[in-house]
Structure 1
Amino acid sequence: MAFAYEACLAGIAIVVATAALASIVTALAIRYAHHRRLFDLPGQRRAHRVPTPRGGGIAIVVAMVAGGCVCMAGEGTTWLVLLLPPVLGVAGVGWLDDHGGLSALKRFVVHVLAAAWMVAGAILLQDALPPHVARAGALMPLAAVAAALAVVWSINLHNFMDGLNGLLTLQAMFVLAVLAALALLRGVPGGMPMLVCGAACAGFLPFNFPRARIFMGDVGSGVLGFVVGAGALWQAMHPEIAPTSGLVLCSAFVTDATCTLVSRMLHGRRWYSAHREHLYQWLVRCGFSHARIVALYMGWNLLVALPVVGWMNRVPHPSMSTTLVPAIAVHAVALAAWWFGKRWCLRHVRERSAHAAA
Structure 2
Amino acid sequence: MAGSLHSLIGLGAMAALLSLAILLMLLKTGWAWSIAIDMPNHRSLHVRPVPRVGGCGVMPVVVAMVLLVAPSLHWLAIGAGVLAIVSQIDDRRGLSVRVRFAVHIGVAVLAVLGVGHGVVWPLAVLAVITLVWLTNLYNFMDGINGIAGGMAVAGFAAFALAAVNAHASLAAAAAIVSGAALGFLALNFPHAKIFLGDAGSVPLGFLAGALGFWGWCEGAWPVWFPALVFSPFIVDATVTLSRRALRGEKIWQAHREHYYQRLAQMNGSHVKASLIYYTVMLGAAVLALIALRLDGALQWVAVVAWLAVLALAGWMIDRRWREHLRSQPAG
The structure that has the greater radius of gyration is 1
Q: Confirm whether residue 172 of structure 1 aligns to residue 152 of structure 2.
A: yes
Identity among equivalent pairs (%): 32
Amino acid at match of 1:313: L
Once the two structures are superposed, residues 260-311 of structure 1 have per-residue CA deviations (whole angstroms, 9 ceiling, x without a partner) of: 11111111222222211111112222243111101111111223x2342133
Once the two structures are superposed, residues 37-82 of structure 1 have per-residue CA deviations (whole angstroms, 9 ceiling, x without a partner) of: x321222111111111112211100111122122125xxxx421x2
Corresponding pairs, count: 329
2:102 to 109, 126, 143: 109
Match of residue 129 from structure 1: none
Measure, in 2, the Cα distance between the counterparts of 1:172 and 1:302.
Answer: 11
Amino acid at match of 1:35: S
Mark the CA change 1:348 to 1:199 in structure 2 (over 3 Å): closer, same or farther: same
Match of residue 91 from structure 1: 84
Once the two structures are superposed, residues 12-58 of structure 1 have per-residue CA deviations (whole angstroms, 9 ceiling, x without a partner) of: 5433322111011112333212235x321222111111111112211
Partner SS for 2:145? coil
Question: Contact between 2:145 and 2:270, CA under 8 Å: does it hold in 1?
Answer: yes
Question: Contact between 1:159 and 1:222, CA under 8 Å: does it hold in 2?
Answer: yes
Amino acid at match of 2:319: R
Question: Contact between 1:158 and 1:225, CA under 8 Å: does it hold in 2?
Answer: yes
Q: Confirm whether residue 145 of structure 1 aligns to residue 122 of structure 2.
A: no
Measure, in 1, the Cα distance between the counterparts of 2:168 and 2:305.
Answer: 27
Partner SS for 1:236? helix
Provide TM-score, normalisation by structure 2.
Answer: 0.92
Gaps of 5+ in 2: none
1:348 to 312, 317, 324: 324
Displacement of 1:189 after TM fit? 4.3
Mark the CA change 1:107 to 1:282 in structure 2 (over 3 Å): closer, same or farther: same
Displacement of 1:8 after TM fit? 6.5
Q: Confirm whether residue 29 of structure 1 aligns to residue 29 of structure 2.
A: no
Q: Confirm whether residue 293 of structure 1 aligns to residue 269 of structure 2.
A: no
Q: Confirm whether residue 226 of structure 1 aligns to residue 235 of structure 2.
A: no
Measure, in 1, the Cα distance between the counterparts of 2:159 and 2:6.
Answer: 20
Match of residue 40 from structure 1: 38
Displacement of 1:165 after TM fit? 0.7
Once the two structures are superposed, residues 227-274 of structure 1 have per-residue CA deviations (whole angstroms, 9 ceiling, x without a partner) of: 111122223334453431111111111111000111111112222222
Match of residue 63 from structure 1: 61
Mark the CA change 1:10 to 1:327 in structure 2 (over 3 Å): closer, same or farther: closer
Once the two structures are superposed, residues 118-157 of structure 1 have per-residue CA deviations (whole angstroms, 9 ceiling, x without a partner) of: 101224xx4xxxxxxx3x5xxx101111111111111100
Partner SS for 2:186? helix
Root mean square deviation of aligned Cα:
2.2
Question: Contact between 1:23 and 1:203, CA under 8 Å: does it hold in 2?
Answer: yes
Measure, in 2, the Cα distance between the counterparts of 1:250 and 1:93.
Answer: 24
Partner SS for 1:286? helix
1:269 to 249, 271, 274: 249
Question: Contact between 1:72 and 1:193, CA under 8 Å: does it hold in 2?
Answer: yes
